[in-house]
Chains A and B, each alone.
Chain A
Amino acid sequence: MNVTNQSIEQGTLVTIDGRIDTTNYTEFEQAMNQLFNDNVKAIYLDCSGLTYISSSGLRVFLTVQKKMMSIGGKFLLFAMQPTIKEIFDISGFSSIFSIFETKEEAL
């Protein structure tokens, strides 16, 4: 898994490549915690490179979502692969998160 940050006009653009599973979800969690420390108000998460997510990874997504909700910020996901979207759909998470088809729609 590889997480990269990029500051854009609207906030921070985060790109995830690879898998988030039980063995590496803490890395993802730390990367996101760093953003909170930097007082980021809007996170745009590019999921186009995300190939797998375990429930541990979903938990981190939830934590970010709750955190952003509590500070009145934004957490937007976009460009999910169908398999990932399916996981979000089955678990009902699609109703919790703001998920967009493309980057342009998210921005």
Chain B
Amino acid sequence: MKTNSLSFKIISRILVFTILLGAGIFSIYFYFSRSEIEKAARANAVFLAENTIKKIEEVIRPAEMIPDNLSWMLESGAIPKDSIMPFLAKLVRNNPIIYASAIAFEPGVFATGVEAYAPYAYRKGESVETTNLWSPDYNYFIMDWYQIPAVLKKPHWSEPYFDEGGANAMLSTYSTPFYVNQQGKRVFGGIITIDISLEWLTEIVRSVKIFETGYAFLISRTGVYVTHPDFNIVNNHTIFTRAEELEEPELRTIGRDMIKGVSALTSIDLKHLGFVWIYHTQLPSTKWSLGVVYPHNEMFAGLRKLTFTILLLSLLGLGLLFLLTIRIINHQISPLSKFASSARGIALGNFKTELPQIGNSHEMQDLYNSFEFMKRELSSYIVNLQETTSAKEKIESELRIAKEIQMGMIPHIFPPFPNLPEIDLYASLLSAKEVGGDLYDFFLLDENRICFAIGDVSGKGIPASLFMAVTRTLLRSTADKTKSTAEIVTSINTTLSLNNDSNMFVTFFLGILDIENGELSYCNAGHNPPILIRNNQEVSYFNITKAIPIGLFDTYVYTGERIQIGPNDQLFLYTDGLTEAEDVDNKLFGDELLLKVIREHASASPKAMIEAATKAVADHVKGHTQSDDLTMMSIVYHGKQRK
């Protein structure tokens, strides 16, 4: 798929959006899950610790009851002195948790004169042995287990210790003072002890398992490890030596809190375990402290696994979405490429090109209708264009023919009178459009007289050309050797004026030159005065009587004039297309420039003079579109030549 294709663009945007949306939702989910798990884990740590404490207390409390009861029995004298030893043995035998038990008497309490007596029952293999603890080598009065409860006057649990050679197990001794009545007074009688094996304790604490590496541990009042998953640590390390060894100063702080009996949840980053939560709390009976270690990373292991699964599924889902979207989009936009090829077909002029079959989608239906519309419109447009073009070509062809006819009406063979050496004549007519309203004409009235005329119909184009044709025809039909110029012009005017509703008019100059004697009679109907060049140098305008153009008022009577011209005098007649030729800035060619050009070519032949004027006009307009018909005629009189 090309990267700039429509389907790629749509799909890439959808995918980016979906991924962003998914990532957003998932991040929120992950954050809340984490905090929920953490909350649950904290609660669970506390619960686990409290539950373990409860289990331990359930064992310890009944064990403490035994010496407490014994104390009461001794004080009340319920046990005869001679049966104390067997009683102890029975007590030990009947309580599997108790490894040994002793009753250590104060001097003179057991019997007057007996300074020290401590009956002791202990397990030896399967049986229970009894003995007197006291010996000269073992002065129990200075032992911790005796002195501490004696001084404190309350029960005491000893630090755990390993009974080497005896129980060969971890033990802890519970010592409680007892009292007797002597001479009616209640006095301190001694200490009752029980030695309890701590293996059950280890079992309870070790049974606490948290995830993979989480565990519980117990330390004594001095910080000695009572239980720990690592047996080598138990009784050999305090939490403080452990902190030293692991180089974890924070562990020392936790240890101090634990010894103080604080219950708290703290976190610590341990080098060998990573980040862990530790909840610690005190055993109410022994004042030992239980710690529960919660590994942080493992806490979220489930979440990580779930996250991984979700991501995998999302990836799979995105892949499916991608494929499905490609399929849908390609299916939906496939008509587009077919439309494109149809459009090419239509553009090449094949309006029968079939439009593609499309589905029922609203947009495609619209496109289809638009294409169908375009096809129809183009087709009808082309037909129209062809008709218009052929009509235009027809008109143009007709105009060309009209131009030929119009040009055929005016004489255009030069020199026109090769048999008359007295005169030379040249004329030119340049229409602004195919056909124009200018005219010139010349013809012989008899062997000595030449009639010539120049005219300009108002307006241009076909209407002007028709009017020009009528005028020229009237001139030819009216002019004869019997009429004067004024009579000819007046007659043409009368005929033209009748039924001239369009108010078109012709400025018209008519002259008759007698080549025998140089007499020039003329009549001017509103036309630009011609230029007369005398002796190849004197240039001047004709003096003319003002008269209106022909074709306007049928009763108008024109008057003629006459002048005498001599040999080599030359006439220059023109229409206002010459003097009013405009350049791009609408600046007119003008009379001044015309007179200048004529002066410069005062001795030129009629043809050369007209060509010079034509060139001067062309130089003036500099390619600006010719706006009016341009007509010039020049006649030079050479004087009488024939004898």
Contacts and interface: CB of A to CB of B under 8 A. Distances in A.
Interface string A52-83: 10111011001100100000000000000000
A38 B586 CA distance: 35
Main SS at interface, chain A: helix
Given A52-B586, A56-B458, A91 B529 contact: no
B587 to A, nearest CB: 11
Interface string A80-95: 0000000001111111
Contact of B546 (A21, A55, A58, A95): A95
Interface string B536-576: 00000000001111001100000000000000000000001
Nearest to B547: A92
A22 B460 CA distance: 8
Interface string A93-105: 1111000000000
Interface in B502-546: 502-505, 507, 525-529, 546
Given A62-B552, A63-B503, A96-B552, A90 B528 contact: yes
A55 B629 CA distance: 12
Interface in B422-473: 456-460
Nearest to B504: A59
A89 B546 contact: yes
Most A-side CB within 10 Å, residue of B502, B503, B528, B627: B503
B458 A93 contact: no
Contact of B548 (A59, A63, A66, A93): A93
Contact of A92 (B456, B459, B546): B546
Contacts, number: 59
Q: How large is the interface on A (under 10, 10 to 19, 20 to 34, 35 or more residues)?
A: 20 to 34
Nearest to A93: B548
Interface in B456-507: 456-460, 502-505, 507
Interface residues of B, number: 26
A90 B576 CA distance: 11
B159 interface: no
B574 to A, nearest CB: 12
Contacts of A22: 459-460, 627-628
B507 A59 contact: no
A92 B545 CA distance: 9
B628 A54 contact: yes
A66 B497 CA distance: 12
Contacts of A90: 526-529, 546
Contacts of A62: 503, 505, 552
Interface string B562-598: 0000000000000010001000001000000000000
A93 B529 CA distance: 15
B173 to A, nearest CB: 130
Contacts of A59: 458-459, 502-505
A23 B130 CA distance: 148
A54 B577 CA distance: 10
Contact of B459 (A19, A52, A56): A56
Interface in A9-33: 19, 21-22
B627 A55 contact: no
A63 B460 CA distance: 17
A69 to B, nearest CB: 10
Nearest to B545: A92
Contacts of A95: 546-548
A82 B408 CA distance: 39
Given A63-B503, A91-B507, A93-B526, A58 B548 contact: no
B470 to A, nearest CB: 16
Nearest to B558: A92
Nearest to B525: A92
Nearest to B549: A91
Nearest to B437: A55
B580 to A, nearest CB: 8
Contacts of A94: 546
Contacts of B459: 22, 55-56, 59
Interface string B606-642: 0000000000000000000001100000000000000
B528 A92 contact: no
A93 to B, nearest CB: 6
Contacts of B502: 59
Contacts of B458: 55-56, 58-59
B438 to A, nearest CB: 11
Nearest to A52: B586
Contacts of B552: 62, 96
A91 B580 CA distance: 14
Contacts of A91: 507, 526-527, 548-549
A58 B459 CA distance: 9
B465 to A, nearest CB: 14
A94 B505 CA distance: 15
A39 to B, nearest CB: 20
Nearest to A64: B503
A22 B502 CA distance: 16
Enumerate the 3 nearest inter-chain pairs by beta-carbon distance, A residue then B residue, closest first.
A91-B526, A55-B458, A92-B548
Interface of A: 19, 21-22, 52, 54-56, 58-59, 62-63, 66, 89-96
Interface of B: 456-460, 502-505, 507, 525-529, 546-549, 552-553, 576, 580, 586, 627-628
15 contacts: A54-B580, A54-B628, A55-B507, A56-B458, A58-B458, A59-B502, A59-B504, A59-B505, A90-B527, A90-B529, A90-B546, A92-B549, A93-B526, A95-B548, A96-B552
Given A22-B628, A59-B458, A62-B552, 16 more contacts: A54-B628, A55-B456, A55-B458, A55-B576, A59-B504, A59-B505, A62-B503, A62-B505, A90-B526, A90-B546, A92-B546, A92-B547, A92-B548, A92-B549, A93-B548, A95-B546
